[in-house]
């Protein structure tokens, strides 16, 4: 059998993703509507969590595409289309951003929209609705623009295999990295840090970036394993799983390093304007969530993913990918939710909250299917594809 001609038939469909995605979106959507009936403030915060998760997946995969071009990696070339399709999640994310801007901003950002105190008054030249909207539009504009450029070149290459497309994407990647570094920091500060406008941390952009990487690689791993085990990725060896597992492990450890450094420095210096943020996440039952985050996001995955062998076992790796996706949800929940002051006796976590997670997963499946059906599942004439398929540990 020749490995050189990968004949992936684009008409092969993934009805599973489409059907399951539609069902999840429908179920999640009904749940979300119900949640808004029950508690408006709480639901807006959950919608923000869901939105941030979609940005993590979409933008994180866009970052992975650019990274591959930039460092001239080839092991990931056969699965790059999966990242390309997943980056399409930025489209529904942009939709949710507009919804929040239009209807939810007063519920989420009332600390700096409504009566600002003396400290917040000093920041209004940055924290105001007009400039906020401009930043959101610029960020999404840049992300979607670069996504369009990457995908255009990548898909055009499927026809004639001209290397000029790769060369162009390398050029775009260099610029994208600069735009990415600034825009993801701005997004993290705007959507999360400004929920508590008194608090500040220079590390915050990096913190969100680290979580983004973990979840983006996990989703990519999950889709890769599923598609390859179903036979949709001919020629991709299981050694590719090792690389994916390695990235999950490395990025997760990086996340822990960033999270620990941020906490340690604030705890040690013990300045009231900074510690307040962590105190909020320790009192009133939040202690359990914080501890769960440490154990669930770092300690257990660290030991479970440490071994070299387990990174090539598909079922185990898929399990760990699901695990880390939920861990990122927990992380976002921990970042956003303590800023919502619940009514007396409101629970920390309600069953109805799950519908937001369901909706997010449904969105990812639907948009993945939508993007996938537009092109071959592998970049069939990418000059690096052959080296990627020959990749051995």
Asked if 387 interacts with another protein (CB under 8 A), we say: yes
Of 308 and 374, which CB lies nearer to another protein in the complex structure?
Answer: 308
Which position among 122, 141, 284, 285 is part of the footprint of another protein (CB under 8 A)?
122
CA–CA distance, 377 with 368 (Å, rounded to integer): 11
Q: What is the total count of residues that contact another protein (CB under 8 A)? A: 42
Q: Tell whether residue 117 is a contact of another protein (CB under 8 A).
A: no
Tokens of 12: 């092969």
* Nearest approach, Cβ of residue 202 and another protein (Å): 4
Q: Is 174 in the site for another protein (CB under 8 A)?
A: yes
Q: Within positions 30 to 89, which residues make up the interface with another protein, using CB under 8 A? A: 72, 74
Residue 178 found at the interface with another protein (CB under 8 A): yes
Q: Find the shortest distance in angstroms from Cβ 264 to another protein.
A: 8
Considering the complex, what minimum distance in angstroms separates the CB of residue 388 from another protein?
11
Ramachandran angles phi, psi of 208, nearest 5°: -65, -40
3-state secondary structure the chain: CCCCCCCCCCCCCCHHHHHHHHHHHHHHHHHHHHHHHHCHHHHHHHHHHHHHHHHHHHHHHHHHHHHHHHHCCCCCHHHHHHHHHHHHHHHHHHHHHHHHHHHHHHHHCHHHHCCCCHHHHCCCCCCCHHHHHHHHHHHHHHHHHHHHHHHHHHHHHHHHCCHHHHHHHHHHHHHHHHHHHHHHHHHHHHHCHHHCCCCCCCCHHHHHHHHHHHHHHHHHHHHHHHHHHCCCCCCCCCHHHHHHHHHHHHHHHHHHHHHHHHHHHHHHHCCHHHHHHHHHCCCCCHHHHHHHHHHHHHHHHHHHCCCCHHHHCHHHHHHHHHHHHHHHHHHHHHHHHHHCCCCCCCCCCCHHHHHHHHHHHHHHHHHHHHHHCCCCCCCCCCCCHHHHHCCCC
Round to whole Å and give the CA distance between 41 and 43. Answer: 5
Instruction: Please report, as residue ranges, which positions from 151 to 170 form the binding site for another protein (by CB under 8 A).
Output: 163, 166-167
- Minimum CB distance to another protein, residue 383 (Å): 4
Question: Judged by CB, which is closer to another protein: 11, or 72?
Answer: 72
Q: Does 311 bind another protein (CB under 8 A)?
A: no
- Which residue, 229 or 390, has its beta carbon nearer to another protein? 390
Cα–Cα distance measured from residue 318 to residue 229, given in angstroms and rounded to the nearest whole number: 11
Closer residue to another protein in complex, CB, 181/354: 181
299 binds another protein (CB under 8 A): no
What CA–CA distance (Å, rounded) separates 89 from 85?
A: 8
In the bound state with another protein, the residue whose beta carbon lies nearer, of 13 and 390, is 390
**Which range in 26-34, 121-129, 331-339, 351-359 contacts another protein by CB under 8 A?**
121-129
d(CA 331, CA 301): 14
Q: Does 303 bind another protein (CB under 8 A)?
A: no
Q: Work out the widest C-alpha separation in the chain, in whole angstroms.
A: 72
- Could you tell me if 75 and 243 are in contact, meaning their C-beta atoms sit under 8 angstroms apart? yes
Task: Return the range that interacts with another protein (CB under 8 A); candidates 47-55, 258-266, 315-323, 371-379.
Answer: 258-266
User: According to the binding rule CB under 8 A, does residue 200 interact with another protein?
Assistant: yes
Residues 261-290 that bind another protein (CB under 8 A): 261-262, 264-266, 268-269, 271, 273
43 or 173, CB closer to another protein?
A: 173
Q: With respect to another protein, which residue has the nearer C-beta, 258 or 360?
A: 258
Residue 79 or 360: the one with the smaller Cβ distance to another protein is 79
Among 60, 88, 104, 205, binds another protein (CB under 8 A): 205
Q: Which is nearer to another protein, 16 or 261 (CB)?
A: 261
Residue with Cβ nearer another protein (206 or 365)? 206
Residue 315 lies near another protein (rule: CB under 8 A): no
Residues that bind another protein (CB under 8 A): 2, 4, 72, 74, 119, 122-123, 126, 163, 166-167, 174, 178, 181-182, 185, 200-206, 246, 253, 257-258, 261-262, 264-266, 268-269, 271, 273, 383-384, 386-387, 390, 392
């Amino acid at each position: 059998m020749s490995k050189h001609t990968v004949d992936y038939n684009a008409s092969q469909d993934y009805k599973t993703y489409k059907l399951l995605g539609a069902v999840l979106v429908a179920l999640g959507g009904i749940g979300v509507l119900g949640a808004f009936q029950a508690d408006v403030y709480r639901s807006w915060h959950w919608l923000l969590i869901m939105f941030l998760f979609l940005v993590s997946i979409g933008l994180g995969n866009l970052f992975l595409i650019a990274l591959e071009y930039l460092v001239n990696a080839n092991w990931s070339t056969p699965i790059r289309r999966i990242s390309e399709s997943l980056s399409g999640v930025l489209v529904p994310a942009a939709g949710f951003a507009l919804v929040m801007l239009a209807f939810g901003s007063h519920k989420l950002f009332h600390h700096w929209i409504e009566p600002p105190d003396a400290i917040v008054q000093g920041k209004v030249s940055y924290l105001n609705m007009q400039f906020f909207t401009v930043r959101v539009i610029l960020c999404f504009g840049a992300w979607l623009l670069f996504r369009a450029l990457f995908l255009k070149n990548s898909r055009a290459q499927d026809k004639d295999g001209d290397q000029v497309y790769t060369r162009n994407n390398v050029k775009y990647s260099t610029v994208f990295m600069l735009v990415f570094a600034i825009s993801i920091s701005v997004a993290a500060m705007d959507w999360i840090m400004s929920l508590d406008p008194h608090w500040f941390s220079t590390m915050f952009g990096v913190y969100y970036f680290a979580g983004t990487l973990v979840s983006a690689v996990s989703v990519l791993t999950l889709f890769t394993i599923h598609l390859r085990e179903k036979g949709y990725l001919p020629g991709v060896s299981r050694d590719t799983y090792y690389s994916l597992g390695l990235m999950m492990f490395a990025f997760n450890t990086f996340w822990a390093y960033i999270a620990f450094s941020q906490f340690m420095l604030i705890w040690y210096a013990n300045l009231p304007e900074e510690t307040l943020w962590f105190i909020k996440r320790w009192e009133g039952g939040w202690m359990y969530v914080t501890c769960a985050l440490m154990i669930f996001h770092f300690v257990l995955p660290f030991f479970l993913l440490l071994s070299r062998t387990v990174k090539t076992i598909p079922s185990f790796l898929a399990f760990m990918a699901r695990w880390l996706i939920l861990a990122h949800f927990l992380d976002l929940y921990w970042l956003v939710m303590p800023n919502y002051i619940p009514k007396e006796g409101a629970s920390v976590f309600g069953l109805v909250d799950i519908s937001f997670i369901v909706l997010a997963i449904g969105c990812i499946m639907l948009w993945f299917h939508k993007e996938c059906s537009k092109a071959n599942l592998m970049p069939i004439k990418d000059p690096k594809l052959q080296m990627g398929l020959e990749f051995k540990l």
